[in-house]
Amino acid sequence: MLNEEMVVTPWEVSGKIDYKKLVRKFGTQLITKDILERIKRYSGKLHMQLRRGLFFSHRDLDWILDLYDKGEGFCLYTGRGPSGPVHLGHLVPWFFTKYLQDAFDAKLYFQMTDDEKFLIHPELTTKAVNKFMYENTLDIIAVGFDPKKTLIISDIQSAKMLYNVAIRIAKHITFSTARAVFGFQDSSNIGIIFFPALQAVPAFLESIISKRNVPCLIPAAIDQDPYWRIARDVAPKLGFYKPAQIHCRFLPGLGKGGKMSASIPETCIFTTDEPETAEKKIMNAFTGGGATAEEQKKTGGTPSVCTVFQYMNYIFEEDDRKMEELYEGCRAGDVICGDCKQILAEMVKDFLIQHQEKREKARDVVEDFLVDDKLNIDVSWEE
């Protein structure tokens, strides 16, 4: 069986202890078997990221499901900081978010924090973040979100709607609270100090637009948890539900240790990489294999630290049985890294060809997804 021991994240290298420590430190809850069964009941089949423990922690997910049981739907909110091209690591939680959208027939608010990226990167111009925002939007659309139930929001393009709500949030956030959560310094610019208020807005947008209180579920990596504390603190003061969360671990990069990072291109497969480029990156990836094929056959590999294994486990191999065989085969020294890489490379090349086709088609429907102030969405509400 694929159990929790096989999972590797940056904070799990030293074993199970750190991972539990993190959940304790943040005060979140582990996803229980009971919750998994409830999700399965609605979705028909559990997503492999749930089955294999990539999404493992939550806040108020049980409460969201209780309301859902009573017929009260929820909306989803996730986001992307468009400071560079999209890589496979970014897609992982988006695939999961699409699964949630389909399973629960949920409206999705997808925030593009182009303002944040402009404010924190000295070298980025508004023109540059706007280009990334547009290009990243194509990737989001290519994932297959429902155009009728998905609003992609550029902070800069939708500043009127967002600022109108953000000032009402900001009025309840003192500098000392924001500093404690985000670690602001005297040298922080005043734009980035205001940004947490803007980032909290989409958690309440469905309630504001539909003029009734709608629960919101945020799928995001667990390190993002503190950022939502502010939204949760402010929510009752504005008369809204606190946003719930479902947390995932990081997907490691192709290099040894660390998460996939766009700033080290050889560790990432970008969605716009030529299939052959991706293949080369995979063939050079860090694995859990021995120093030589001979040695590996003798001692076996270590799939829990193998990046190739992670890619199959969280993105490409849906079949639990095959993953189990691969795991056992690697441990026994029967599966050699070169072969395994080749299998993944074929999967990734197939995926890229399809994704890139969807990505190009997305250019024609960007307007259907991308919210702009031109839509003049009414965000007034009685305070």
Binding site for its own copies (CB under 8 A): 115, 118-119, 125-127, 156-160, 162-164, 166-168, 170-176, 178-179, 184-194, 196-197, 373-374, 376, 380, 382-383
To its own copies, the closest distance from the beta carbon of 205 in angstroms equals 15
Q: Which is nearer to its own copies, 11 or 134 (CB)?
A: 134
At position 32, the amino acid (one-letter code) is T
Q: Which is nearer to its own copies, 129 or 348 (CB)?
A: 129
Q: Which is nearer to its own copies, 123 or 364 (CB)?
A: 123
State the Cα–Cα distance between residues 124 and 117, nearest whole angstrom: 8
To its own copies, the closest distance from the beta carbon of 125 in angstroms equals 4
To its own copies, the closest distance from the beta carbon of 188 in angstroms equals 5
Kindly state the tokens that stand for 258.
């660390």
Contact (CB, 8 A) for 106 and 75: yes
Q: Which is nearer to its own copies, 20 or 237 (CB)?
A: 237
Q: Please name which of 27, 22, 51 lies closest in space to residue 323, comparing C-alpha atoms.
A: 51
Please, what sign has the CA dihedral across residues 121, 124, 127, 128? negative
To its own copies, the closest distance from the beta carbon of 194 in angstroms equals 3
To its own copies, the closest distance from the beta carbon of 212 in angstroms equals 19
Contact (CB, 8 A) for 355 and 364: no
At position 334, the amino acid (one-letter code) is D
To its own copies, the closest distance from the beta carbon of 240 in angstroms equals 16
Q: Which is nearer to its own copies, 139 or 155 (CB)?
A: 155
State the Cα–Cα distance between residues 257 and 9, nearest whole angstrom: 9
Q: Which is nearer to its own copies, 187 or 263 (CB)?
A: 187
Other beta carbons within 10 angstroms of residue 191's beta carbon come to 13
Instruction: Please count the CA atoms within 13 angstroms of the CA of 154 that sit on its side-chain side.
Output: 25
Q: Which H or E element spans position 225?
A: helix 225-238
Residues 6+ apart with CB under 8 A from 52: 2, 7, 313, 314, 323
To its own copies, the closest distance from the beta carbon of 291 in angstroms equals 49
Residues 6+ apart with CB under 8 A from 142: 271, 355, 358, 359, 361, 362
Q: Which is nearer to its own copies, 163 or 369 (CB)?
A: 163
